[in-house]
Amino acid sequence: MPFMQKSNLTAGIGVKDDNLLDAMNRLAQLPLMHQPGEKWTYGLNNDLLGCLVEVISGTSLDKFFKTKILNHWA
């Protein structure tokens, strides 16, 4: 990720065989790239949303999608 390279930080985002909650907890420790409203940058908001789905549902994101979303379209 460019912001981690720019800041010379290694939060472990993108680490293989890592779970989403651990990755989001590391992400929460990183400083902001800029102040809110100062400019716009792509973020990891979809990853955070997936993490919330896992925590609230008590199941992995792929299992949640299979059982709650994809099976309803079959």
pLDDT digits (tens, 9 = 90+) for 34-63: 888 998 877 778 888 999 999 999 999 999
| Cα→Cα distances 31→7, 8, 34, 60, 72, Å | 9, 12, 9, 28, 40
Structure tokens at 70: 């994809």
Model confidence band, residue 1 (pLDDT cutoffs 50, 70, 90):
very low
Kindly give the interhelix angle for 20-27 and 45-57, rounded to the nearest 10 degrees: 130
Report DSSP state, residue 37. T
Residue spans of alpha helices (H) in 17-68: 20-27, 45-57, 61-64
